[in-house]
Amino acid sequence: MNTILAIKVDGRTSNAVHVQEILTKFGCNIKARVGFHEAGADHCAMDGIIILQLFGEENIAEVMCKELDTLEGVSPKIIEF
């Protein structure tokens, strides 16, 4: 399985805990994780993007996506190649 799950998170400070709980639940299916948000000396964005490389059963991305999609301000997208 070559599946990437991209997660757009708005309101990072209020959503981070809930997103992390879901990611922890699927921790054994996450091969790599990278997070991005705009940051500077006088600015720290409240939105961000998390990119996950997934491992495991074919439907794991769909299951994770459905759980993440229940959170307000969180938009997951599956990328397969």
Does residue 13 sit in helix, strand or coil? helix
Indicate the pLDDT class of residue 1, thresholds 50, 70 and 90.
low
pLDDT tens, position by position, 27-68: 999 999 999 887 777 877 888 999 999 998 889 999 999 999
Is this structure's pTM higher than 0.75? yes
What residue ranges define each of the domains in the chain, with the CATH number in brackets?
3-80 (3.30.70.1150)
| Residue 61: φ, ψ to 5° | -65, -40
Grade residue 73 by pLDDT with cuts at 50, 70 and 90.
very high
Render pLDDT for 4-22 as a digit per residue (tens, 0 to 9). Answer: 999 999 987 888 899 999 9
Rounded-to-integer distance, Cα 6 and Cα 76, Å? 6
Q: How far is CA 63 from the centre of its chain?
A: 13
